[in-house]
Chain A
Amino acid sequence: MHIIETGNVAAALGVKLAGVQVVAAYPITPQTPLTEKLSELIEAGEMDARYVPVESEHSALAVCIGASSAGARSFTATSANGLLYMHEQVHWAAGARLPIVMCVANRAVGAPWNIWNDHQDSISQRDTGWIQIYSCDHQQIIDDTLKAFRLAETTSIPVMVCYDGYLLSHTYMPFEVPEQEKVEQFLPPFHPSYALDPSSPANLNTVTLPEIRTDVHGEMAHGYMEIRYLLQEDLRKAVQVVEEIDAAFQEIFGRGGAPLVEPYRCDDAEYVVVGMGSLTYQLWDVIETLRTEGHKIGVLGVRLYRPFPDAAVAAALRGARGVFVMEKALSYGYEGALCSDLKSALYDHIPDKSRAPFVKGLVAGIGGREIRTADLTDTLRSGLVGSIPEPGWIGIQL
């Protein structure tokens, strides 16, 4: 069934279809309508779940951690400072290997206050051990939310589904709502790898020492370093799991095919612009204009950001002479995090450095600064002749 709704409603319907059992959330713009929708669906009996209107985001994720440990499919959502306030628990959920799913309606972080879109909130959670997916439109939001549960439960790693605040969260777009029976075919009920169960007691997340030692049964147990290594290894393997889950989804629903990166007119491209989220699709328009002017340019949308699909990124850029990475976030003091990640992937995957493209990092849309298609077109046009005005922050007025 097709409906026309907001991105937040798309996420809420994905959560409903996934049969989530516990929702804990604290309101924050622009996430709020998503959690309001869930509370409404739960109260109306359309969703068989418990909604906890917690007193803060820190508690929201802690409640999900408890619920997931007790074997319930759990969900939360937030934005900006809410996500930052959760940060301690964000690390915790990954370290505890709990398959929680969280939607992030991306918003700039304070100070100063700003409620509009950029990616600084979720990018700043890059190193927590969560899987991060960036949706580019409403269809992807609902589909990614469903896939996220299967991904989280397959890998025992929590998943963040990120989508642009306002630009996607509050705009209306048509999208297809998957049928419940098909969802059940795609997403089996949650069977936790372990769950709190009085008949077989377990001590979760107890203190580990720097060195390995025997457990209470006298058997050698993993130490902190081994536990953390396994998280890293499973995250690296998750790149393939993302592809497998996308294939399974495509078989049932007929949508998908580019779960890691989404190339657009990259086959013969001499230059490629790389972006994440809704900006990717805006760039398609820009590229069409530049193509009509005879420039061989394409767009690469990065859909999976953590684990970083380095091989797929490098493969898509092989043969390009130049790459422009356009980001709505920054690793302050250096450059955009995606830009660094991408350069590192090229270094690893293109052994002959004389064949590696130049990489130019650009910053756009910080704190919701409007990203005009005309400005993008102008910037890239000058980029093609190597003369992007410094500092490469599109639309900045100093």
Chain B
Amino acid sequence: MSALIDEQRIESPPESDYKLPRINPHKTSEIVPWLRTPKTIWCPGCSNGTITRALIDAILGLELDAEKVVIVAGIGCSGRIAQYLEYSTVHAAHGRALAVATGVKVADPSLRVVVAMGDGDCSAIGGNHFIHAARRNIDLTALIFNNSIYGMTGGQMSPTTHTGDKSTTSVHGNVEAAFDLSELAHAAGATFVARGTAWAYRQLVSVIAGGIAHKGFAAVEAMAACPVYYGRFNLTADPAEFLKGQKEHAVPASKFEEGESRLHEQYPVGLLHHGERAEFVTSLARVREEAQEALRG
């Protein structure tokens, strides 16, 4: 359900022609030039590397002009990609990535801006920017590495940690409810919402590419594996087992019952919401033109 008043949404019906881009994964030799370093701080078994590769695959698959690509990253294990990618990147303050990206986009609307954030960065300290970027429908692609925990600071609960889950700040179980980030984005007005997993690589590339190609605010939730903290405390510390769990939990969106809510063990993946609504930067330009027209009278 949308939380917007006065929206001009044209939601594409599920049977519409729209299809997510299909991209054939590139060879490692094609991916590697877009990485600045073979070294990362990520733990063995972390899925951040997989998601990073999927992002590069999507950018290559869409044949974007690399000079027009800007990656803005927040702070967290995931945010580190700002240091690893061979594109123009900006490492923002914790929680500020979307606001910084908004500045980048309005300064030069021709740039393709991808905003990489952890679940905490996006929905805890940066939650306000998330709902407002969605409401504004600004042409940015939010790529959320959702590992249900604050990885970087050592495994504290985040707004996506499920009720009952353990973390270093909920040693005996979290009492709070978790956000469904995709539904939050949708309710706040995002016009493209999709979810992928680290397990299903091709689908992940395709939802990221769909988000980037979309004109308007796109929220792409990548279900990430943090075997070191979230896994060890809650599911499994074994990275392979963790990914197998994703395979079992992920249900294609088309098979997900209407109104069914996302659970720990069951969540829809693929394209979740897709619609059209006036985009922010374009609207700004249009209003400005109209105003000038009126003045010229």
Contact = CB atoms under 8 A, between A and B. Distances in A.
Contacts of B75: 113
A39 B156 CA distance: 10
A36 interface: yes
Interface stretch (A9-17, A26-34, A233-241, A353-361): A26-34
B124 A55 contact: yes
A36 B124 contact: no
Contact of A56 (B95, B171, B172): B95
A28 B171 contact: no
Interface in A110-157: 110-113
Nearest to A113: B91
A21 interface: no
* Chain B: number of interface residues, binned into ranges: 20 to 34
A29 B94 CA distance: 12
Contacts of B52: none
A43 interface: yes
Contacts of A28: 153
B20 interface: no
A36 B125 contact: no
* Chain A: number of interface residues, binned into ranges: 20 to 34
Given A28-B153, A53-B157, A81-B93, A39 B169 contact: yes
Contacts of B125: 26, 55-57, 85
* Prevailing SS type, chain A contact patch: loop
Contacts of A44: 171
Given A36-B169, A39-B168, A55-B159, A29 B153 contact: yes
A81 B154 contact: no
B127 interface: yes
A113 B76 CA distance: 12
A62 to B, nearest CB: 13
Contacts of B156: 27, 32, 36, 53
Contacts of A57: 125
Contacts of B154: 27, 32, 36
A113 B91 CA distance: 9
Interface string A22-49: 0000111100100110011001100000
B93 A55 contact: no
A56 B168 contact: no
A305 interface: no
Interface of B: 75, 91, 93-95, 123-125, 127, 150, 152-154, 156-157, 159, 168-172, 176
Given A36-B154, A53-B156, 12 more contacts: A27-B169, A32-B154, A36-B156, A39-B168, A40-B171, A43-B172, A55-B124, A55-B125, A55-B127, A55-B159, A81-B93, A113-B75
Closest 4 A/B residue pairs (Cβ): A55-B124, A56-B125, A27-B153, A39-B169
Interface of A: 26-29, 32, 35-36, 39-40, 43-44, 51, 53, 55-57, 81, 85, 110-113
